[in-house]
Amino acid sequence: MFKVLVSDPISDLGIQKLADAEDVIIDKKPGLSEDELVAIIGEYDALLVRSQTRVTPRIMEAGKQLKVVGRAGVGVDNIDLNAATQRGIIVINAPDGNTITTCEHTFAMIMAVARHIPQAYQKTVSGVWDRKSFLGVELRNKVLGVMGMGRIGSEVAKRAKAFGMEIWGYDPFLTEERAEALGIRLSTVDDIVRNADFMTVHTPLTPETRHMIGRNQFEVMKKGMRIVNCARGGIIDELALVEAIEQGIVAGAAFDVFEVEPPAADHPFLKLPQVIVTPHLGASTVEAQENVAIDVSEQVLNILRGKPFINAVNMPPIPANLLNIIQPYFPLVEKLGNFAAQLVEGAVEEITVNYSGELADLDTQPLTRHVVRGVLSHHLGSEQVNVVNSLHLAKERNVNIVVQKSPLSRDFTNLVTVTLRSKKEERLVAGTLLSGYGPRVVQIDKFPVDVAPEGNLILVSHNDKPGIIGRVGTLLGNNDVNIATMQVGRKIIGGAAIMVLSVDKGASKEVLAELASLADLNNAKEINLL
Ligand SMILES: NC(=O)c1ccc[n+]([C@@H]2O[C@H](COP(=O)([O-])OP(=O)(O)OC[C@H]3O[C@@H](n4cnc5c(N)ncnc54)[C@H](O)[C@@H]3O)[C@@H](O)[C@H]2O)c1
Ligand SMILES: O=C(O)[C@H](O)COP(=O)(O)O
């Protein structure tokens, strides 16, 4: 049974599928402090949050069973991604579910700041009929600067065009072609602050975007600018904005998000009549909350059940078409890594993965993560290592990872070769996915073999001499070790050879030692690939 803790208010309808799953128990405990979370998180496999819960390193540390933190929304700045990656905790978000809702809120803010709607409402309900103080401006023919042309920024731009606005956009990934397709002008931050009548920010908060609109920008800003922030507090320097309002540079501002949330009671935004505020409501619609909760629940369920998932933010995304091709290789390559790790003597210093054949043309990084997981889990345990932290753990241990690609594969359509180098030796295991037969190990060191990488295997290195197979079989039989299959590989008659036996149950250390002491037998090793 998987236990899931929901620590923020998340749509009940959205998490219904998770709640209905027969292998999941959900506990809803919104509003817990960090200490309270630390005290209970140890019993949970998954944590579902919105933006309120700060998922700190302490919480991750205490979450000994925690496999996934699901963010029902976009921003993950409340989750310590480094701590999650180090512990192999997958962090996923729901990036698409609240795009339109947040775009619509942004537009509501643009309209409200253009027409003083909240201020006028307040005065009217207080009994004052004031038709003079709230002269607004039209949106038509005004320049709207959009910083960040991602999901929300692009939707805002589309709607602004319908209002007859001219859109100037800035985004490091915005190309001339895309700008043209969107019908907007590709600009810079400087162009926008100098020329726009309205400006709206839709970037994440990063070291680069923190205070991207600050004193320097306000100094050169077009007088009478109206500014909207429905993205993240801190993209616009709040104190510099207050100064710019007081100096008459900025005519109005609409903020949904703040550098510190909730803002202190004496925050100048709450006093200035030119500033309108909402309490981080950008994503707060019935539809968006259902969407993000459904998206995140589905992925959390996939992760808990060991199925493929999308939207992990602490590992690169795998496009669906690539995933379809490489997913069947995940178990194979992980087993190759694990096989090689059990073969090699001494601490692994380098893992070389060679992809040949059709795989060589693809992005193989997800496969490499699985290979490394297979290698490291031999010593660190499969619970400790997963595809999120495998590369990180290898780097931490100074294990060098080399990836090679050879488009031509002589005997197989696809071949993955894993070579492990330690101070003592270098060992190689290669495998392929054979249509109709599944994963096969087709080479061990220099010897061609054909072995299914599963269960208990005994690997014997010996000299190719008559009678060896019989002696090995008799010894194992006498010790109640039943041989299911046997493969012998050699390069030349009478030379060095290997024997790979799949056995129904593992052999004891004593039996392996006895095997190794047989005449013409050099080594016997058990490989466990359960
Ligand atoms: N107020 C809310 O409730 C609410 C709801 C949803 C999203 N958000 C926030 O809105 C923001 C945008 O969300 P999104 O879904 O559109 O994200 P997105 O990832 O689709 O878009 C962000 C864009 O910002 C761009 N960017 C990054 N650095 C930049 C820089 N220095 N200058 C200009 N552009 C830069 C990226 O290239 C990207 O295209 C995020 O901060 C998100 O957390 C807020
Ligand atoms: O990043 C987001 O998705 C928004 O900021 C929404 O946050 P919320 O889920 O706390 O409303």
| pLDDT tens digits along 442-486 | 999 999 999 999 999 999 999 988 888 899 999 999 999 999 999
Task: List b or e across 450-467, with b for residues whose CB sees 16 or more CB atoms inside 10 angstroms.
Answer: ebbbebbbbbbbbebeee
Look over the chain and give the mean of its residue pLDDT values, rounded to a whole number: 94
Atom 39, ligand 1: which residue's CA is nearest? 150
Closest CA to 156 of 211, 93, 105: 105
Total-model pTM: 0.78
Exactly one of 71, 280, 370, 427 is catalytic; which is it? 280
What is the percent of the chain where pLDDT is above 70?
100
46-50, 215-219, 520-524: segment of lowest average pLDDT = 520-524
Q: DSSP letter at 268?
A: G
pLDDT of residue 378: 87
pLDDT of residue 132: 96
Residue 48 tokens, joined: 């579902």
What is the percent of the chain where pLDDT is above 90?
79
Is the pLDDT confidence value at 419 over 80? yes
- φ, ψ of residue 449 to 5 degrees: the values are -140, 180
Alpha-carbon span 169 to 167, nearest angstrom = 6
232 catalytically annotated: yes
How remote is the CA of residue 197 from the centroid of ligand 2, in Å?
Answer: 27
379 catalytically annotated: no
Q: DSSP letter at 204?
A: -
Over residues 94-114, the pLDDT tens digits come to 999 999 999 999 999 999 999
Is the pLDDT confidence value at 315 over 90? no
Over residues 141-197, the pLDDT tens digits come to 999 999 999 999 999 999 999 999 999 999 988 888 889 999 999 999 999 999 999
Q: Is 99 in the pocket of ligand 1 (CB under 6 A)?
A: yes
Over residues 258-273, the pLDDT tens digits come to 999 999 999 999 999 9
Is the pLDDT confidence value at 490 over 90? no
Is the pLDDT confidence value at 203 over 80? yes
Q: Is 148 in the pocket of ligand 1 (CB under 6 A)?
A: yes
Closest CA to 487 of 520, 450, 443: 450
Is the pLDDT confidence value at 530 over 80? no
Q: Is 207 in the pocket of ligand 1 (CB under 6 A)?
A: no
pLDDT of residue 134: 97
pLDDT of residue 173: 80
- Nearest ligand, measured from the Cα of 192: 1
Over residues 120-141, the pLDDT tens digits come to 999 999 999 999 999 999 999 9
Is the pLDDT confidence value at 249 over 90? yes
Is the pLDDT confidence value at 492 over 90? no
pLDDT of residue 168: 98
447, 428 in Cβ contact below 8 A? Answer: no
pLDDT of residue 99: 97
How remote is the CA of residue 455 from the centroid of ligand 2, in Å?
Answer: 46
pLDDT of residue 444: 96
Is the pLDDT confidence value at 336 over 80? yes
pLDDT (average), residues 321-342:
94
- Where does the pLDDT of residue 407 fall: very low under 50, low under 70, confident under 90, or very high at 90 and above? confident
Which residue ranges have their beta carbon within 6 Å of ligand 2?
Answer: 50-51, 73-75, 98, 280, 282-284
Q: Is the ipTM above a cut-off of 0.85? A: yes
Domains observed in the chain = 2-95+287-304 (3.40.50.720), 99-277 (3.40.50.720), 318-447 (3.30.1330.90), 454-530 (3.30.70.260)
Residue 517 tokens, joined: 């002491």
504, 492 in Cβ contact below 8 A? Answer: no
